[in-house]
Amino acid sequence: MSDGFSFDVIVIGAGHAGCEAALAAARMGCQTLLITTNLDHPAMMACNPSLGGPGKGHLIREIDALGGIMGIIGDRHVLQMRKLNTSKGPAVQALRAQIDKHAYQQGMKEILEQESRLVLKEGAVREILVQENRAVGVVTRQGSTYRASCIVLAAGVYMSSEIFLGDNHFPGAPGNQVPSRELSQSLVQLGLEVDRFKTGTPPRVYRRSIDFEGLIQVPGEPEAGTFSYATENPHFEQIPCYLTYTTRETHALILENKHYAPIYSGLIKGRGPRYCPSIEDKVVRFPDRERHPIFIEPESKGSQEMYLQGISTGLPEHLQYAFLRTIPGFRDVEIIRPAYAIEYDFCPPTQLEPTLETKKIRGLFLAGQVNGTTGYEEAAAQGLVAGINAALLCREEPPFLLLRTEAYLGVLIDDLVTKGVSEPYRMFTSRCEHRLVLRHDNADLRLTKKGYKVGLIDEERYAGFLRKEQTLEEEKRRLERIRLTPSTRVHAVLQQLGSAPLNRPQTLAELLKRPEISYRTLLQLQERPGEFQLTGDQEIADEVETQIKYAGYIAKQLANIKRVAGLEEKTISPDFDYDRLTNLSTEARQKLKAIRPRTLGQASRIDGVSPADISFLALHLTPRRPRSEGRRQDQARESRSAVGNREGSEV
C-alpha cells in the first residue's frame, strides 16, 4: 500500500496514453498514481468518435495482444464496425469502428477504478521534480507533492494549448478544460526541447437538424470481427453513418473568407497534420477538386450529436454556419459545438530512448501526443510501452523493446525516436516495410507471448492462445495431407470457379494457393459429402488461408528481415565519439551525435545519414585485431599461398 503520497509510478494525464500506461504499470505490480485534470473524462475522444482503420487498427490489435485495454473497451461500446480494404490484400485490411464515446469513457473509468494497485487523483501537475538527473516526483497546482521512482508524462495537447476560432483565440483545451502552461515551463527548465503543433476538430451538429433524404447511407458489417482477441460472441448494433459532399458554393465561400482562418491569418505558427487538413486548407491546396467528402457519424447512442468528419476548421462560428448550409442535407443544420483549431506544445521525440524514457532524465517517460503524434491509437500504443518500461525499471529488469520487424508498435516508436517529426505523426500501413508479416490478423501470434512474459496476459487467456496456436498448425497440416485426384466432378467445380483443371493429384493446401480458391470453396471439391471437414472457426479459417495462400511472399519478407537483423545486432555505445570519424559527412555526424542510435540499423534510418556514412561507421564498429596477431595471420596466409603456387607449378 502507498501512503497516499509515495508511489512506484506516477502517470500524468488520463487520455488514451495515460490510461494504458497506468493500467500496465499497476497490473505489473507497481503502486501507481494516475493524476488528471478531470476524472470525468478518462480516454476522452476529443475528436473523431471512432477507432481503427489501416495502420491504426493494426496498433489496436497489437495493444490487445500485449495485454492493453483499448480493444476490449472498444468492442464493448461499438456503434458500427466495418472491415476496410477487403478488396485488397491481407496486409492492408483492418477494422474501423464508430464508438459510443460517452460509454467508452465511462467503461474506461470503471476499469481504472477497479484496479487495486491504481490510485486516481484529480489535479493539475505544474512541476516535475528531478534529483541528480533522476525523476523523483511531481508538484500539483493544488500544492501537493507526490513521490515516485518513475514518471510517465502523457499530457496530450494540454501543454500551453490555445484555441482559435477566426481571430478569436484564448488559452484552452479539449472539453473546455484548463491547459497547463507550467508543465511546459518545467520541461524546458529540465533541459528538454519543446516545440509547437496545431490540429483541429469539425463542428458537432444536432441529428434532428440534418435532412438525411438523398444522403448516402454507410452501413456496418455484422461479421467484420473484433478489435480484441478476448471478445467472444460480439453483437454490434451497427448504427448507420451517412455520406455527403461539399459543393462549389461551399468552396467559393471558404476561399472568399480564408483570411479569417488562423492558419492563413498568421495567428497559428505550429504545423498541422498533413493527412487530416482543415476544410479551408483542402480548398486552397486542391483548387481543382469539385467536392470533398463528409462522413456524418454518431457520437453516442443516447445523444443527438453528430460528428462531421472531413471538415475540421478554425473559421469563426458564423462562417461555419454559412458554409455548412451550402452542403446537401445541412440547409437547416444547427451546431451544438463549434469547430476550433488548437495549437499546443510537444516534445520532439528524438530526445527519447526506444523505451520512451528521456535521454536526459532517468525515470521520466513521455507517451502520446506530447511526442508529436496524432490519434488515439498511436497514443495508446506509446502509453502501453511507456507503462511497461516504467514498471520494468522500477523492478530493475531489462527494458521491453519491439523492433520495427516485429510490430507496427516497433515501427511507430522507431520512426519517432530515429527520424523525429516535422508534422503530427500518423500511422499508415505504408510506413511498415514488412507489412505482409505484420498483419492485422496475426498480432496475437506475434505478440501474445511477449505480453505474457511481462505479466499483462493472464494464465487463462494464454492457455486459450496456446490452444489456438496448436489448432492452427493442425489445420495447416491436415490441408497438406488431404489429396484430391483428377476427376470429372473436380474438373467441373474448378472450371466453375475459373480455375485450371488438375493434371495430377494435389493437396488442399496446394489448391488453396490458387488466387480464385478460398478456404470455404474447398468443400465444393468433395467427391462425396463429408469426405473431408473444414474448421467452423472463422478466425482459424482466415489465418490458415492467409498463411498458405501468401506463403511464398511471407517467406521472402522473413528472409529480408533476417538480412536486416545483422545491422540491428551491431550495437553502438551511447558515448561513441563520432567527432573522431572525419570521413563522416558533417550532417551525418551532427545527426548521429543528436540521436545517439543504439544500433547500426537505427543509424541507417536517420535522415541525412547516407549508405556511405553507414559503411564507414560499420568499419569502426568492427573489433580490430592486435597488430602482432594481424602480422602472424598475414604471414600464415603468405606461407599457404607460396605452397599452393609451388604445387601448381609442379602439376
Question: In the chain, where are the structural domains located?
Answer: 204-341, 476-549, 570-621
- Nearest to 522, CA basis, from 541, 504, 550: 541
Residue 502, number of CB atoms within 10 A of its CB: 17
How far is Cα 211 from Cα 244, in angstroms, rounded to an integer? Answer: 11
pLDDT in tens, 355-372: 999 999 999 999 999 999
Q: Which residue's C-alpha cell is 580490430? A: 624
C-alpha to C-alpha distances, 248 to 242, 276, 324, 331, 629, nearest whole angstrom: 20, 21, 12, 15, 79
Main-chain dihedrals φ then ψ at residue 101, nearest 5 degrees = -65, -35
Region 523-546: what's the mean pLDDT? 87
Cell matching residue 194: 519543446
How far is Cα 319 from Cα 329, in angstroms, rounded to an integer? Answer: 17
How far is Cα 623 from Cα 638, in angstroms, rounded to an integer? Answer: 23
pLDDT in tens, 103-151: 999 999 999 999 999 999 999 999 999 999 999 999 999 999 999 999 9
pLDDT at 643: 40
- Nearest to 111, CA basis, from 77, 158, 141: 77
Q: What is the pTM of this model?
A: 0.92
High-pLDDT (> 90) share of the chain, %:
80
pLDDT in tens, 17-41: 999 999 999 999 999 999 999 999 9
pLDDT at 1: 46
Q: Has residue 527 got a pLDDT over 90?
A: no
Main-chain dihedrals φ then ψ at residue 480, nearest 5 degrees = -80, -15
395: helix, strand or coil: coil
How far is Cα 606 from Cα 595, in angstroms, rounded to an integer? Answer: 8
Region 588-593: what's the mean pLDDT? 91
The topology (CATH level 3) of 570-621 is DNA polymerase; domain 1 (1.10.150)
C-alpha to C-alpha distances, 614 to 387, 571, 608, nearest whole angstrom: 33, 13, 11
206: helix, strand or coil: strand
> Tell me: domain 204-341, CATH 3.40.50.720, correct?
no
Q: Has residue 644 got a pLDDT over 50?
A: no
Main-chain dihedrals φ then ψ at residue 361, nearest 5 degrees = -125, 115
Q: Has residue 596 got a pLDDT over 50?
A: yes
Q: Which class would CATH give 476-549?
A: mainly alpha
Q: In what side-by-side order are the strands of the sheet with 168-171?
A: 168-171, 162-165, 340-346, 195-201
pLDDT at 619: 85
Partnered with residue 10 across adjacent β-strands are: 33, 151
Q: Can you list the alpha helix ranges (DSSP code H) found in 98-216?
A: 101-114, 181-189
Burial class (CB in 10 A: 0-12, 13-18, 19+), 399: middle
Half-sphere exposure of 35 (CA within 13 A, CB side): 28
